[in-house]
Amino acid sequence: MSLLLNAIVTGIAIGAVYGLIAMAYSVVFVATRVFNLAQGDLVMVGVLVSFWAIEIRHWPQVVALLVVIGVVCALSLVEERIAVRPFLGRGVDDIGWFISTLAFGLVIATIATNLYGNRPPLPVASPLTKDAIRIGSVTTTPQLLLAFATLVLVTVLLELFYRRTWLGHALRGTAEDREVAALRGISAVRMSRIAFLLGGVIAGLAAFVIAPVVYADVSLGLSYSIKGFVALAVGGFGSTRGALAGALSLGVAEQVFDLYADPHYELLAALLLLLVVLTVRPHGIFGSAKARTV
């Protein structure tokens, strides 16, 4: 029983890592209806920059955080300009952005691999103590708690942002109907840039927080992208709460799978979860089916 309890707690903590990645996806998706396949690679680059700033340059944590966010934001904006903006307004059926964001991810992953060189995946020092926290029979680490706290904070701030601010409404509205948004003086191009900027900030923050947990590993970009997608698909696209719920379910599903099946096949857990949820609720836990238009 305590094994299962531990798996669930660890699952929630790991889920927080996926949740941060999913939030970055979600922010971009909500405003542009673009599913940025390079998002995982952006997070991976953020983790590598954390490694470089903390382990190689030995910069203070705060400086490192700012550098990571800065680099990831810059990359995110470059991606928006090169690989996404030309496709906005070409109609929802145009899947060109799918290919161009995938290609952008491939380019930055290759560059990162060449820069990182032949090092094995290396740990990044955490500002927090490494000592485990014990509550009854359950153990976890301060860094995972920090990831969870960051996720909760980001979720709450995003919900407030979407509900309370003009910009939040504008971001949501643009994707709903570009023409109506344009009539109200909202520039879709500007919204797209803001969305990628915001997505970059969250991806950078996510990368910095998860770096001590996941190690500097150049090969993980694509699997971050996939896990983020599974979290969103399970929770329901476009819903912030959905992203949170989906990510936590994914983390727990993986840990429970590891406990009762074989950790080598952990990736299978995400696929199974995805297929089960899509069969029962095709639009995710918090998603809603959209009406067709002819």
Q: For other proteins, which residue of 93, 166, 179, 185 counts as binding (CB under 8 A)? A: 93
Minimum distance from residue 291 beta carbon to other proteins (Å): 5
Q: For other proteins, which residue of 25, 26, 31, 35 counts as binding (CB under 8 A)? A: 35
Total chain residues near other proteins (CB under 8 A): 45
Q: Which stretch binds other proteins (CB under 8 A): 51-59, 64-72, 159-167, 222-230?
A: 222-230
Q: How many Å apart are CA 238 and CA 293, to the nearest integer?
A: 19
Q: How many Å apart are CA 44 and CA 112, to the nearest integer?
A: 9
Q: Which stretch binds other proteins (CB under 8 A): 43-51, 86-94, 160-168, 240-248?
A: 86-94
CB nearer to other proteins: pick between 99 and 180: 99
Residue-wise burial string across 133-146, b where 16 or more C-beta atoms lie within 10 A, e elsewhere: eeeeeeebbbbbeb
Burial of 116 (0-12, 13-18, 19+ CB in 10 A): middle
Site string for other proteins, 45-84 (x = CB under 8 A): -------------------------------------xx-
Report the candidate in 129, 88, 121, 97 with the shortest Cα–Cα distance to residue 221. 121
Site string for other proteins, 248-287 (x = CB under 8 A): --------------x-xx-xx-xx--xx--xx--x-----
Residue 152 binds to other proteins (criterion: CB under 8 A): no
Residue 123 binds to other proteins (criterion: CB under 8 A): no
Which tokens sit at 178? 């570009």
How far, in whole angstroms, is CA 75 from its chain's centroid?
15
Burial of 258 (0-12, 13-18, 19+ CB in 10 A): middle
Q: Apex CA 9: angle with CA 204 and CA 239, to 5°?
A: 50
Residues making contact with other proteins (CB under 8 A): 35, 37, 82-83, 86-87, 93, 95-96, 98-100, 102-107, 109-111, 113-114, 222-223, 225-226, 229-230, 233, 262, 264-265, 267-268, 270-271, 274-275, 278-279, 282, 291-292, 294
